[in-house]
Amino acid sequence: MLDLSLKDLTIPLVAGGVGWFTNWIAIKMTFYPVRFVGIPPYLGWQGIIPSKTVKMATIFVDETMAKLGNLKEVFNELDPKVISQHITHHIEPFLNEITDEIMHETEPTVWDNLPQIVKNNIYKNVKKNLPQLVDNLLLDISEKIEDLVDLKELIINKLVKHPELLNKLFMESGQKEFKFLVNSGFIFGTLFGLIQLAVWKIYPKPWILPLFGALVGYITNYIAINLIFRPLYPVKLGPFTIQGLFLKRQNEVAKVWSKIVTREIFTIKLLVEGMIKGSKSKKTRQLIKKHLRPLVDKAVGTIRPLAQLTVGIENYSKIKDKVAEIAVDVSIEPFDDPVFIEDRAKVMERFLTHRMTQLPPEEFQGLLRPCFKEDEFKVILLGGILGFLAGIAQWVWVFAPKR
């Protein structure tokens, strides 16, 4: 039977503390600080996830969003008809003002001298034809959405500007796993500490403490990470069924993940802004112009001969261009409505949640796995280094002979 002193009992306790602390610091260093702290580029630290925002955002789009549905599917799920009705409802009260603005900026003389009855007829035509025009435009957009917006560019730009969103996505989706990772460090560390204690009693050499400290820091981190994601599929062991902790919570994680994505990362407003202002916005504007031409012809058909006679055919065509410019500017405004945004977000959330719950485990783990896999060796190696230093400190302060 081993003769244990109080000093000896500190070995498993310190090992447990090392396991807990190294896993805790690993989580913190994965996510924080969000911005680089220190003297760039090498003297300092930035959280692993925020420091690789472009790469992580690319993985997010390619490995996750792409598996949940293409852009056309997502847009159709948002229902172009509902979007069309919302746009029409939002714009209709301002149609007369918008018409006045267009005409005053293009042909003020002609417009100011028109009888009010003619203007009213133009207002009426615009209002009458607007719903069908917007319906046709949204249906056309739904067919060509992949050519009108670069989803990867859109999301990467969003996450580069707001790297804290990636942190939030990973941390809230994997909250229970991160808690397990930290707490399990103490459990595994203590178990290894008992082995260390046995070795120490048989072979009490100074290097035993830092060596085991390094092993504890390294191995506890490695084991905990693998328990989160392995095994991929449920495995029966007698009366027990084991599976990676994250994978067992697929339904629960899908809800959390989808809610964050649809409220803060990929919103309908972001999608519309991407079409209007993104790298492919020229195509969107051309599409809007195409659908507006019939409306302009019908609306101002009454004054076309007069306008062309007064300012010429070339200047008359400027009216159409001005209509398109204002339409582009106005098209974003309906998506500032928080009620509508939340309503469509709920629709998209249900769609993404359903798709996520259907993913096979090897694809589902891609939601959280990147935050560990990216520079994982650094995190695990850090655990080993900290454990080694803790072992040296334990020798110096507890076991080293006092002079």
User: What pLDDT, in 10s, does the model give residues 333-345?
Assistant: 889 899 999 999 9
Helix axes 164-173, 151-161, angle to 10 degrees: 100
Residue 309: per-residue pLDDT: 46
pLDDT tens digit sequence for 128-140: 888 998 999 999 9
Residue 315: per-residue pLDDT: 54
pLDDT at residue 143 is higher than 80? yes
Summarize the confidence of residues 252-278 as an average pLDDT.
92
> Token pair of 109, please?
């003389």
Residues in CB range of 7: below 8 A, 6 or more apart:
398, 399
Is residue 235 helix, strand or coil?
A: strand
Q: Dihedral of the CA atoms 126, 131, 137, 140 (nearest 10)?
A: -140
CA distance 345 to 259: 8
Residue 302 lies in a domain: yes
> Token pair of 249, please?
């919570």
Domains identified in the chain, total number: 1
> Token pair of 344, please?
């469509």
More confident residue, 150 or 312: 150
Residue 1 lies in a domain: no
pLDDT at residue 26 is higher than 70? yes
Residue 305: per-residue pLDDT: 57
pLDDT at residue 214 is higher than 60? yes
Residue 206 lies in a domain: yes
Residue 85: per-residue pLDDT: 94
pLDDT at residue 325 is higher than 70? yes
Residue 385 lies in a domain: yes
Residue 253: per-residue pLDDT: 92
pLDDT tens digit sequence for 218-259: 887 778 778 888 888 888 888 888 888 889 999 999 999 999
Residue 86: per-residue pLDDT: 94
Domain with 170, as residue range(s), is 6-399
pLDDT tens digit sequence for 367-403: 777 766 656 677 677 778 888 888 888 888 888 876 6
* 280-285, Cβ contacts within 8 angstroms, sequence gap of 24 or more: 280/147, 280/148, 280/149, 280/150, 283/144, 283/147, 283/148, 284/141, 284/148, 284/149, 284/328, 285/324, 285/328
pLDDT at residue 59 is higher than 60? yes
Among the ranges given (166-170, 192-196, 322-326, 383-387), the one the predictor scored with the smallest mean pLDDT: 322-326
Strands 235-237 and 43-45: unpaired
pLDDT at residue 313 is higher than 70? no
CA distance 401 to 219: 30
Residue 267: per-residue pLDDT: 92
Q: What DSSP character marks residue 270?
A: H
Residue 71 lies in a domain: yes
